[in-house]
Amino acid sequence: MAIDEEASIPVIDHSAFVLGDECARVKALAEIDRACRDWGFFQLVNHGLGADRLENILQCTRDFFALPLERKLDLVTPMSPIGFLNQSGASGVVDRKEHLLFFGLDHPSVRHNAWPESPHGFRGVVEEMMRECAAFSKLLTRILFEALGLSGDCAREIYNKESGDSFLLPFYPACPPDYEHELVLGQHKDGGILTLLSQLNEVPGLQVLKDDRWITVKPLKNSLVINVGDVMQVWTNGRYKSVMHRVVRRENDRFSMAFFHIPGSSTEIAPLEEFTAHEPPKYRKFVQGEYIQLRMKNRSMGNKAKEVTIEHYAV
Ligand SMILES: O=C(O)CCC(=O)C(=O)O
Ligand SMILES: [Fe+2]
Protein backbone atom coordinates (compact mmCIF):
# COMPACT_ATOMS: atom_id res chain seq x y z
CA MET A 1 0.00 0.00 0.00
CA ALA A 2 1.22 3.49 -0.86
CA ILE A 3 2.57 5.94 1.70
CA ASP A 4 1.29 9.50 1.47
CA GLU A 5 3.77 11.91 3.09
CA GLU A 6 1.72 15.02 2.25
CA ALA A 7 -1.61 14.32 3.99
CA SER A 8 -2.07 14.72 7.75
CA ILE A 9 -4.67 13.70 10.28
CA PRO A 10 -7.03 16.46 11.55
CA VAL A 11 -5.72 18.80 14.25
CA ILE A 12 -8.26 19.95 16.85
CA ASP A 13 -7.82 22.63 19.51
CA HIS A 14 -8.94 21.43 22.92
CA SER A 15 -9.10 24.98 24.30
CA ALA A 16 -12.56 25.21 22.67
CA PHE A 17 -13.74 22.98 25.54
CA VAL A 18 -12.08 25.02 28.25
CA LEU A 19 -12.68 28.66 27.42
CA GLY A 20 -16.48 28.69 27.65
CA ASP A 21 -17.06 30.06 24.12
CA GLU A 22 -20.18 28.16 22.98
CA CYS A 23 -19.56 28.83 19.26
CA ALA A 24 -16.02 27.46 19.45
CA ARG A 25 -17.29 24.43 21.38
CA VAL A 26 -19.94 23.58 18.80
CA LYS A 27 -17.39 23.97 15.98
CA ALA A 28 -14.86 21.73 17.75
CA LEU A 29 -17.56 19.08 18.40
CA ALA A 30 -18.34 19.05 14.67
CA GLU A 31 -14.61 18.68 13.87
CA ILE A 32 -14.29 15.78 16.29
CA ASP A 33 -17.37 14.12 14.79
CA ARG A 34 -15.88 14.38 11.27
CA ALA A 35 -12.46 13.19 12.39
CA CYS A 36 -13.89 10.12 14.19
CA ARG A 37 -16.04 9.17 11.18
CA ASP A 38 -13.48 9.78 8.46
CA TRP A 39 -10.15 9.06 10.12
CA GLY A 40 -10.67 7.41 13.51
CA PHE A 41 -7.72 9.61 14.54
CA PHE A 42 -7.00 13.24 15.36
CA GLN A 43 -4.30 15.31 17.05
CA LEU A 44 -5.35 17.43 19.98
CA VAL A 45 -3.43 20.61 20.78
CA ASN A 46 -3.79 22.57 24.03
CA HIS A 47 -4.89 19.37 25.75
CA GLY A 48 -5.08 18.88 29.50
CA LEU A 49 -1.87 16.93 30.16
CA GLY A 50 0.95 19.09 31.55
CA ALA A 51 4.01 19.58 29.30
CA ASP A 52 6.35 19.29 32.29
CA ARG A 53 4.78 15.97 33.29
CA LEU A 54 5.23 14.63 29.76
CA GLU A 55 8.86 15.75 29.92
CA ASN A 56 9.30 13.86 33.21
CA ILE A 57 7.78 10.73 31.67
CA LEU A 58 10.18 10.98 28.73
CA GLN A 59 13.16 11.32 31.06
CA CYS A 60 12.12 8.35 33.24
CA THR A 61 11.38 6.23 30.18
CA ARG A 62 14.75 7.00 28.59
CA ASP A 63 16.55 6.17 31.84
CA PHE A 64 14.69 2.91 32.30
CA PHE A 65 15.25 1.59 28.78
CA ALA A 66 18.94 2.59 28.95
CA LEU A 67 19.43 -0.02 31.74
CA PRO A 68 21.17 -3.29 30.83
CA LEU A 69 18.75 -5.91 29.50
CA GLU A 70 19.24 -8.19 32.56
CA ARG A 71 17.93 -5.43 34.83
CA LYS A 72 14.91 -4.83 32.62
CA LEU A 73 14.17 -8.56 32.52
CA ASP A 74 13.59 -8.38 36.30
CA LEU A 75 10.25 -6.80 35.41
CA VAL A 76 9.00 -9.66 33.24
CA THR A 77 5.80 -11.09 34.77
CA PRO A 78 5.03 -14.54 33.31
CA MET A 79 1.41 -15.26 32.34
CA SER A 80 0.48 -11.59 32.59
CA PRO A 81 0.52 -8.73 30.08
CA ILE A 82 1.99 -6.27 32.58
CA GLY A 83 5.65 -5.48 33.16
CA PHE A 84 8.53 -5.58 30.70
CA LEU A 85 8.33 -7.12 27.24
CA ASN A 86 11.34 -7.31 24.98
CA GLN A 87 9.66 -8.05 21.67
CA SER A 88 6.07 -8.68 20.70
CA GLY A 89 4.57 -10.16 17.60
CA ALA A 90 1.25 -8.47 17.07
CA SER A 91 1.12 -9.45 13.40
CA GLY A 92 3.68 -11.96 12.34
CA VAL A 93 7.17 -10.45 12.22
CA VAL A 94 8.56 -9.83 15.70
CA ASP A 95 8.28 -6.17 16.65
CA ARG A 96 11.52 -4.27 17.15
CA LYS A 97 10.25 -2.79 20.35
CA GLU A 98 10.53 -3.00 24.12
CA HIS A 99 7.77 -1.88 26.43
CA LEU A 100 6.54 -1.50 29.97
CA LEU A 101 2.83 -2.03 30.60
CA PHE A 102 0.86 -1.08 33.72
CA PHE A 103 -2.75 -1.50 34.76
CA GLY A 104 -4.51 1.83 35.34
CA LEU A 105 -5.02 3.01 38.92
CA ASP A 106 -8.72 2.06 38.92
CA HIS A 107 -8.07 -1.38 37.44
CA PRO A 108 -9.02 -4.21 39.85
CA SER A 109 -5.55 -5.78 39.39
CA VAL A 110 -3.56 -2.58 39.86
CA ARG A 111 -1.71 -4.11 42.84
CA HIS A 112 0.03 -6.52 40.44
CA ASN A 113 1.87 -3.71 38.63
CA ALA A 114 5.64 -4.29 38.61
CA TRP A 115 7.76 -1.20 39.36
CA PRO A 116 11.44 -0.67 38.57
CA GLU A 117 13.76 0.41 41.38
CA SER A 118 15.67 2.57 38.94
CA PRO A 119 15.34 5.35 37.87
CA HIS A 120 14.55 6.84 41.24
CA GLY A 121 11.01 8.26 41.46
CA PHE A 122 9.74 6.32 38.43
CA ARG A 123 6.58 5.04 40.13
CA GLY A 124 5.48 8.47 41.35
CA VAL A 125 5.95 10.05 37.92
CA VAL A 126 4.07 7.26 36.12
CA GLU A 127 1.20 7.08 38.64
CA GLU A 128 0.73 10.83 38.42
CA MET A 129 0.52 10.59 34.64
CA MET A 130 -1.87 7.61 34.80
CA ARG A 131 -4.16 9.64 37.08
CA GLU A 132 -4.18 12.55 34.61
CA CYS A 133 -4.74 10.26 31.63
CA ALA A 134 -7.63 8.45 33.34
CA ALA A 135 -9.42 11.72 34.04
CA PHE A 136 -8.67 13.12 30.59
CA SER A 137 -9.80 10.00 28.74
CA LYS A 138 -13.12 10.06 30.61
CA LEU A 139 -13.56 13.70 29.70
CA LEU A 140 -12.78 12.95 26.05
CA THR A 141 -15.23 10.05 26.01
CA ARG A 142 -17.94 12.42 27.23
CA ILE A 143 -16.92 14.87 24.50
CA LEU A 144 -17.18 12.14 21.85
CA PHE A 145 -20.65 11.21 23.13
CA GLU A 146 -21.63 14.85 22.89
CA ALA A 147 -20.24 14.99 19.34
CA LEU A 148 -22.48 12.01 18.57
CA GLY A 149 -25.49 13.95 19.86
CA LEU A 150 -25.83 11.84 23.03
CA SER A 151 -25.76 13.10 26.56
CA GLY A 152 -22.33 13.00 28.21
CA ASP A 153 -23.91 11.11 31.13
CA CYS A 154 -24.75 8.28 28.78
CA ALA A 155 -21.07 7.24 28.93
CA ARG A 156 -21.23 7.03 32.69
CA GLU A 157 -24.19 4.67 32.62
CA ILE A 158 -22.71 2.38 30.01
CA TYR A 159 -19.30 1.58 31.32
CA ASN A 160 -18.14 3.50 34.33
CA LYS A 161 -18.66 0.83 36.95
CA GLU A 162 -15.33 -0.90 36.43
CA SER A 163 -12.06 -0.02 34.66
CA GLY A 164 -9.87 -2.00 32.28
CA ASP A 165 -7.50 0.92 31.57
CA SER A 166 -3.84 0.31 30.87
CA PHE A 167 -0.76 2.47 30.37
CA LEU A 168 2.03 1.59 27.96
CA LEU A 169 5.55 2.96 27.60
CA PRO A 170 7.01 1.64 24.32
CA PHE A 171 10.62 2.13 23.25
CA TYR A 172 11.61 1.56 19.63
CA PRO A 173 15.43 1.33 19.44
CA ALA A 174 17.08 3.09 16.49
CA CYS A 175 17.23 0.86 13.42
CA PRO A 176 20.54 0.35 11.63
CA PRO A 177 20.34 1.50 7.98
CA ASP A 178 20.41 -2.11 6.80
CA TYR A 179 17.56 -3.25 9.11
CA GLU A 180 15.59 -5.73 7.05
CA HIS A 181 11.99 -4.97 8.05
CA GLU A 182 9.95 -1.89 7.35
CA LEU A 183 7.87 -2.11 10.53
CA VAL A 184 8.85 -1.95 14.20
CA LEU A 185 5.23 -2.37 15.35
CA GLY A 186 2.88 -4.41 13.19
CA GLN A 187 -0.42 -3.04 11.92
CA HIS A 188 -3.31 -3.33 14.36
CA LYS A 189 -6.38 -1.59 15.76
CA ASP A 190 -6.81 -0.70 19.44
CA GLY A 191 -9.40 -2.73 21.35
CA GLY A 192 -10.79 -0.20 23.85
CA ILE A 193 -12.93 2.95 23.85
CA LEU A 194 -10.19 5.38 22.87
CA THR A 195 -6.42 5.76 23.14
CA LEU A 196 -4.36 8.79 24.16
CA LEU A 197 -0.90 8.72 22.62
CA SER A 198 2.11 11.00 22.94
CA GLN A 199 5.05 10.71 20.55
CA LEU A 200 7.18 11.68 23.52
CA ASN A 201 10.48 12.59 21.87
CA GLU A 202 8.88 13.83 18.65
CA VAL A 203 10.44 11.15 16.46
CA PRO A 204 7.82 10.26 13.83
CA GLY A 205 7.01 6.67 12.97
CA LEU A 206 3.28 6.25 13.62
CA GLN A 207 1.26 5.75 10.43
CA VAL A 208 -2.51 5.58 10.02
CA LEU A 209 -4.41 3.87 7.20
CA LYS A 210 -6.73 6.16 5.22
CA ASP A 211 -8.26 5.24 1.86
CA ASP A 212 -5.63 2.53 1.28
CA ARG A 213 -2.74 4.89 2.01
CA TRP A 214 -0.48 5.10 5.04
CA ILE A 215 -0.41 8.61 6.47
CA THR A 216 2.43 9.61 8.80
CA VAL A 217 1.30 11.32 12.02
CA LYS A 218 3.73 14.22 12.21
CA PRO A 219 4.57 14.93 15.84
CA LEU A 220 3.33 18.38 16.84
CA LYS A 221 4.87 19.88 19.95
CA ASN A 222 2.73 19.17 23.02
CA SER A 223 -0.02 17.49 21.05
CA LEU A 224 -1.78 14.25 21.88
CA VAL A 225 -2.86 11.75 19.27
CA ILE A 226 -6.36 10.45 19.99
CA ASN A 227 -7.78 7.39 18.30
CA VAL A 228 -11.09 5.60 18.38
CA GLY A 229 -10.95 1.99 19.59
CA ASP A 230 -13.04 -1.06 18.68
CA VAL A 231 -15.51 -0.53 21.55
CA MET A 232 -16.46 2.93 20.31
CA GLN A 233 -16.88 1.49 16.81
CA VAL A 234 -19.31 -1.13 18.17
CA TRP A 235 -21.22 1.31 20.41
CA THR A 236 -21.78 3.62 17.42
CA ASN A 237 -22.65 0.70 15.11
CA GLY A 238 -19.72 1.63 12.88
CA ARG A 239 -20.25 5.38 12.73
CA TYR A 240 -16.94 6.06 14.49
CA LYS A 241 -14.07 4.01 13.09
CA SER A 242 -11.34 2.07 14.83
CA VAL A 243 -8.57 2.41 12.26
CA MET A 244 -5.49 0.36 11.42
CA HIS A 245 -2.15 1.87 12.44
CA ARG A 246 1.49 0.79 12.70
CA VAL A 247 4.98 2.11 13.47
CA VAL A 248 7.70 2.21 10.78
CA ARG A 249 11.43 2.00 11.41
CA ARG A 250 13.56 5.08 12.11
CA GLU A 251 17.26 5.71 12.54
CA ASN A 252 16.65 7.37 15.94
CA ASP A 253 15.46 5.93 19.21
CA ARG A 254 11.73 6.56 19.50
CA PHE A 255 9.77 6.86 22.75
CA SER A 256 6.01 7.06 23.06
CA MET A 257 3.33 6.76 25.73
CA ALA A 258 -0.14 5.29 25.28
CA PHE A 259 -3.11 5.26 27.64
CA PHE A 260 -5.76 2.75 26.63
CA HIS A 261 -9.18 3.66 28.00
CA ILE A 262 -10.95 0.29 28.24
CA PRO A 263 -14.18 -0.81 29.94
CA GLY A 264 -13.88 -3.30 32.83
CA SER A 265 -13.66 -6.94 31.80
CA SER A 266 -17.24 -7.86 32.80
CA THR A 267 -18.76 -4.99 30.78
CA GLU A 268 -21.16 -6.06 28.03
CA ILE A 269 -20.52 -4.26 24.75
CA ALA A 270 -23.17 -3.89 22.03
CA PRO A 271 -24.32 -1.22 19.59
CA LEU A 272 -26.26 1.48 21.46
CA GLU A 273 -29.99 1.77 20.85
CA GLU A 274 -29.52 5.29 19.49
CA PHE A 275 -27.59 3.83 16.54
CA THR A 276 -29.80 0.84 15.83
CA ALA A 277 -33.16 2.62 15.67
CA HIS A 278 -32.95 2.95 11.88
CA GLU A 279 -30.51 0.22 10.92
CA PRO A 280 -29.80 -3.32 12.11
CA PRO A 281 -27.00 -3.85 14.62
CA LYS A 282 -23.71 -4.64 12.87
CA TYR A 283 -22.23 -6.44 15.91
CA ARG A 284 -23.55 -8.96 18.38
CA LYS A 285 -23.17 -8.42 22.10
CA PHE A 286 -19.91 -9.54 23.71
CA VAL A 287 -18.12 -9.26 27.02
CA GLN A 288 -15.06 -6.98 27.02
CA GLY A 289 -12.83 -9.40 28.95
CA GLU A 290 -13.52 -12.19 26.48
CA TYR A 291 -12.43 -9.98 23.58
CA ILE A 292 -9.24 -8.96 25.41
CA GLN A 293 -8.44 -12.66 26.02
CA LEU A 294 -8.90 -13.47 22.33
CA ARG A 295 -6.63 -10.58 21.35
CA MET A 296 -3.95 -11.74 23.79
CA LYS A 297 -4.11 -15.22 22.31
CA ASN A 298 -3.42 -13.65 18.88
CA ARG A 299 -0.15 -12.34 20.18
CA SER A 300 1.03 -15.54 21.78
CA MET A 301 0.27 -17.60 18.67
CA GLY A 302 2.27 -15.31 16.39
CA ASN A 303 1.46 -15.39 12.71
CA LYS A 304 0.30 -18.99 12.60
CA ALA A 305 -3.19 -18.20 13.88
CA LYS A 306 -5.78 -16.05 12.17
CA GLU A 307 -5.92 -12.77 14.09
CA VAL A 308 -9.12 -12.16 16.03
CA THR A 309 -10.37 -8.63 15.43
CA ILE A 310 -13.66 -6.93 16.20
CA GLU A 311 -15.02 -8.50 13.00
CA HIS A 312 -15.26 -11.68 15.07
CA TYR A 313 -18.49 -10.17 16.48
CA ALA A 314 -19.85 -8.82 13.19
CA VAL A 315 -23.35 -10.00 12.22
O1 LIG B 1 4.05 3.95 19.65
C2 LIG B 1 3.19 4.37 18.89
O3 LIG B 1 3.29 5.44 18.29
C4 LIG B 1 1.93 3.57 18.66
C5 LIG B 1 1.70 2.47 19.66
C6 LIG B 1 0.43 1.73 19.42
O7 LIG B 1 -0.26 1.93 18.46
C8 LIG B 1 -0.01 0.72 20.40
O9 LIG B 1 0.79 0.33 21.26
O10 LIG B 1 -1.18 0.28 20.33
FE1 LIG C 1 -2.23 1.04 18.75
For residue 28, tell me if it sits in a domain.
Answer: no
Q: Residue 168 domain-assigned?
A: yes
| Residue 52: inside a domain | yes
8 Å CB contact between 243 and 184 = no
CATH of the domain at 150: 2.60.120.330
Query: Would the CB of 190 count as within 6 Å of ligand 1?
Result: yes
Say how many Å lie between the CA of residue 291 and the centre of ligand 1: 19
Say yes or no: CB of residue 243 within 6 Å of ligand 1. no
Q: How many domains would you assign to the chain?
A: 1
Q: Which residues surround ligand 2, an ion (CB under 5 A)?
A: 190
Query: Model pTM?
Result: 0.95
Q: Is residue 30 part of a domain?
A: no
The pLDDT of residue 245 is 97
Ligand 1, residue 190: give the atom nearest the CA: 10
Q: Which of 309, 87, 96, 82 is nearest to 190 (CA)?
A: 309
Q: For the chain, first and last CA: distance in Å?
A: 28
Q: Does ligand 1 have an atom closer than 6 angstroms to the CB of 247? A: yes
Closest ligand 1 atom, residue 99 Cα: 9
Other C-beta atoms closer than 10 Å to the C-beta of 239 total 17
Whether 48 is in a domain gets the answer yes
E-assigned strand segments in the chain: 2-4, 11-13, 41-45, 83-85, 98-103, 166-172, 183-188, 194-198, 206-210, 213-216, 224-228, 245-248, 254-255, 257-261, 268-269, 286-287
Indicate whether 253 belongs to any domain: yes
Q: Tell me, using a 6 A CB cutoff, whether residue 193 lines ligand 1.
A: no
The response to whether residue 206 sits with its C-beta less than 6 Å from ligand 1 reads: yes
Q: Which domain holds residue 221?
A: 2-9+35-313
> How do 166-172 and 257-261 pair as beta strands?
antiparallel
Is 17 among the domain residues?
no
| Interface TM-score (ipTM) > 0.85 | yes
pLDDT in tens, the chain (315 residues): 888 878 899 999 999 999 889 999 999 999 999 999 999 999 999 998 989 999 999 999 999 999 999 999 999 998 889 999 987 665 566 789 999 999 999 999 999 999 999 999 999 999 999 999 999 999 999 999 999 999 767 777 777 778 999 999 999 999 998 888 999 999 999 999 999 999 999 999 999 999 999 999 999 988 999 999 999 999 999 999 999 999 999 999 999 999 999 999 999 999 999 999 999 999 999 999 999 989 887 766 554 556 789 999 999
Residue 24 within any structural domain of the chain: no
- How many secondary structure helices (H) and strands (E) does the chain include? 7, 16
- Predicted local confidence at residue 95, as pLDDT: 84
